[in-house]
Chain A
């Protein structure tokens, strides 16, 4: 795989430490960093929010869609999440992570809350069980040669994830994108609880380690 120039970690004072790679896309010359935009939002500059929205609405919506599987609900949640981001911006601290991480955490929590509310009105447990029994929910398809050659951030991350056994991918998918506990995953996949725990631990460790190795590629 061809080596790409390393992108410095934004706000990272010690690049020699074994940290996960920067996962945000490279910026063009003169473009404000995510952190600068967050500071703008903290100072109630709508233009800063507009730019952050343009940069990340596609990623955040994809995450929401992965949870709720409904376009209209995803749009409503996307709007709510960016509104919450505007309202809660003062609670953001760069020391606790990067703006994208904060947004993703916020979006995931909102989307899972939305999913749980919906499940309260329908027999979603049965629906989910049917889904998971029919076939392991493919999180990512195997990375194609074309994707690997493009070597963009997403393809590299997907390559790491797709290297996991399908059962580990499925367990992580259900935990992260559906907000399921280990017991819920065990029940929904007819798998012993101990096996679910092992799959989650091994899978997450492999992804974590894989992303660290990618630091030199990104």
Chain B
């Protein structure tokens, strides 16, 4: 697999769109290309951020945050106590 083909596959890989057989080939090429491959894959994950940021933010209630923070504080107390 050329590095250009690897790059094409990597963009599909990070969004989980490779088929099973393709994943095996991709993993082999990933090992072969080593650090260069890892750097490119990390870069591709920025697509995730971009896709999320393409959406209009949605509103959540204050009550939801209060519930979350209550759970977090309880978990922290439970963990340390």
Q: Which A residues contact B (CB, under 8 angstroms)?
A: 19-20, 23-24, 44, 46, 49-50, 53-54, 57-63, 65-66, 74-75, 78-79, 82-83, 86-87, 96-98, 100-101, 104-105, 107-108, 139-140, 153-154, 157-158, 161, 172, 175-177, 179-183, 200-201, 204-205, 207-208, 211
Contacts and interface: CB of A to CB of B under 8 A. Distances in A.
A182 B58 contact: no
Contacts, number: 137
Nearest to B65: A53
Counting chain B CB atoms within 10 Å of each CB, the highest count among A44, A63, A78, A205 belongs to: A63
A44 B75 CA distance: 10
Given A183-B19, A200-B17, A74 B58 contact: yes
Interface string B55-73: 1111111001101110111
Contact of B76 (A46, A53, A75): A46
10 contacts: A20-B43, A23-B46, A46-B73, A50-B65, A53-B65, A65-B58, A104-B49, A204-B11, A208-B44, A211-B46
Counting from the closest, the 6 A-B pairs by CB-CB distance are A58-B57, A62-B55, A204-B11, A61-B58, A20-B46, A175-B17
A176 B51 CA distance: 8
Given A44-B79, A86-B75, A101-B46, A59 B53 contact: yes
B76 A44 contact: yes
Contacts of A211: 46-47, 50
A157 B61 CA distance: 27
A207 B50 contact: yes
Nearest to A63: B52
B58 A157 contact: no
B2 interface: no
Instruction: Specify the main secondary structure of chain A where it touches its partner.
Output: helix
A83 B15 CA distance: 23
Contacts of B81: none
A96 B42 contact: yes
Nearest to B8: A201
Given A87-B75, A100-B49, A101-B48, A175 B57 contact: no
Nearest to A139: B54
Nearest to A80: B68
A59 B52 contact: yes
Counting chain A CB atoms within 10 Å of each CB, the highest count among B45, B48, B61 belongs to: B48
B16 interface: yes
Given A58-B60, A61-B58, 20 more contacts: A19-B43, A44-B76, A46-B72, A54-B65, A66-B55, A74-B58, A75-B61, A79-B68, A82-B68, A87-B75, A97-B45, A101-B49, A104-B49, A108-B48, A172-B15, A176-B15, A179-B16, A204-B12, A204-B15, A205-B8
